[in-house]
A and B are shown apart, each in its own frame.
Chain A
């Protein structure tokens, strides 16, 4: 009996992206953002030149860039320091956020108990938190990491909790009917079902992570840091360096965000692909299956 053909024909194909030329893809995904940034720089240059703005009030864009490139040997270790604080804090915050989200989803009593405290933690102005943290933790990298983690964990927790409590219960029941143990249901069903909200939380956290590191650096550093470099530039009316370091901080922030987006693309291929990527296992099985046929 052949009823299948009509169905196959009517299968809704997604827009076939592989047919889109690579050039067009690059143009859309890279070209447009770059163009908008270039446009921003042009407008900036036009305003500064057109209104005769003094360089100590606002620099020309190229001056800001020069302030970075000419001092790169000084700035590079500071950038690495900020990246280190951001990454450590982000990883710690994400781990804490995921753990809290899972625990709260699994133990409703704990959820009612802990949730208000979490909300409270985010109502505290992070700047007001920085000074006491320094008093407790000193001037090392630790208070910066704590501030970043403090900012990152919350959206992760909320999203993981939300994701886990919205897992399709019919699916969980189906796993039970199959006789699946709870931990396997958790790993195979609940965890992947929470991937999308988890990454939403991580992306929110990623956008604020660098800000947290900078706030921490401003609160106190023994030695130099990117925020202090900027602060010195500011007090010395070196506005070009102030803008330059701001651009650097922004680049760090965007890079980290894009890295998280990249991780999401890699970890959740079903979000944007029709067909799974080829893996070694599958290739091997496929050929074995084909020859058996």
Chain B
């Protein structure tokens, strides 16, 4: 494996009954990169994530993180879904520190960090609010901060902005890129929105269903930082066309 790979999948596959959810897949993710995974529903994106997170035991193959086998084990990635999964009975601060509460003791240092992160990313005034008082975008940001403070180097984000309106979504995308730059994490980002996958990533994996598999692996040539103008650059349009072609039944 390459020296800078944080995650490696070797022939990892999963079958549910008669359905091949994920064909044996081999994949290597470079440390610090932002990798988008795009594909229609049923293409095995979420199965792939669940296997990496350790929620699903693959039928075969191996998952390695920092060159250590972690197949079927949990507790080694940050994980976030389209649903924010904030607990309504905890304040914003306590939601951010939730992972610590679930695995050990929440120290005052943890709480201080939660407050610092919240303030840094514009939620300092809402630390003692309950999630029900927040807008969808704010809730999603809290959910992301909760993922951040786990200090896992690898973050799995499964359509985190899927439920937001277009305006908020664009703001959140820019915000995410900012945080990613600040914190130097590796991000695996599932989306069914091709624009989003290109706008955010260094690399786009395209998946297709029946059987679920990775059909293409594009290196994203677009320069950073990215702005609204990025969306109309020629490279963007070309990459988008190639991905769309694949998603609509074309061959690579």
Contact = CB atoms under 8 A, between A and B. Distances in A.
A–B contact with Cβ pairs below 8 Å: the answer is yes
A107 interface: no
Nearest to A282: B128
B103 A7 contact: no
A270 B132 contact: yes
Given A1-B174, A178-B75, A289-B115, A7 B130 contact: no
Interface residues on A, range: 35 or more
Contacts of B138: 7-8, 11
Interface string B97-111: 011011100001001
A168 B81 CA distance: 13
A268 B175 CA distance: 33
A110 B171 CA distance: 50
Nearest to A267: B89
B74 interface: yes
A174 B79 contact: yes
Contact of A6 (B77, B88, B171): B171
B137 A184 contact: no
A43 interface: no
B130 A177 contact: no
A174 B85 contact: yes
B131 to A, nearest CB: 8
Contacts, number: 123
B102 A185 contact: yes
Given A270-B89, A270-B132, A1 B178 contact: yes
A8 B121 CA distance: 11
B168 interface: yes
Given A173-B55, A175-B102, A178-B74, A11 B83 contact: no
A7 B85 contact: no
A177 B171 contact: no
Contact of B81 (A3, A7, A170): A170
Nearest to B133: A274
Interface residues of B, number: 49
Given A4-B175, A177-B54, A178-B150, A171 B168 contact: no
Contact of A14 (B76, B89, B133): B133
Nearest to B124: A293
Contact of B99 (A178, A192, A289): A178
A14 B129 CA distance: 11
A278 to B, nearest CB: 8
A179 B134 contact: no
Interface of A, helix, strand, loop or mixed by DSSP: helix
A10 interface: yes
A85 to B, nearest CB: 33
B130 A270 contact: yes
A266 to B, nearest CB: 13
A13 B150 contact: no
A222 interface: no
A288 interface: yes
Interface in A254-293: 268-270, 273-276, 278, 282, 285, 288-289, 292-293
A25 interface: no
Interface string A1-34: 1111111101111100000000000000000000
A250 B171 CA distance: 57
B74 A177 contact: yes
A268 B74 CA distance: 31
A177 B122 contact: no
Contacts of B233: none
Nearest to A14: B133
Contacts of B130: 269-270, 273-276
A170 B83 contact: yes
Nearest to A175: B102
Contacts of A188: 98, 101-102
A38 interface: no
A275 B55 CA distance: 34
- Return the 4 tightest CB-CB contacts between A and B, nearest first: A179-B75, A4-B122, A180-B102, A3-B171
Given A4-B122, A171-B87, A177-B55, 14 more contacts: A7-B135, A8-B138, A10-B135, A11-B138, A170-B83, A170-B85, A171-B85, A179-B103, A189-B87, A189-B102, A192-B87, A269-B130, A276-B128, A276-B130
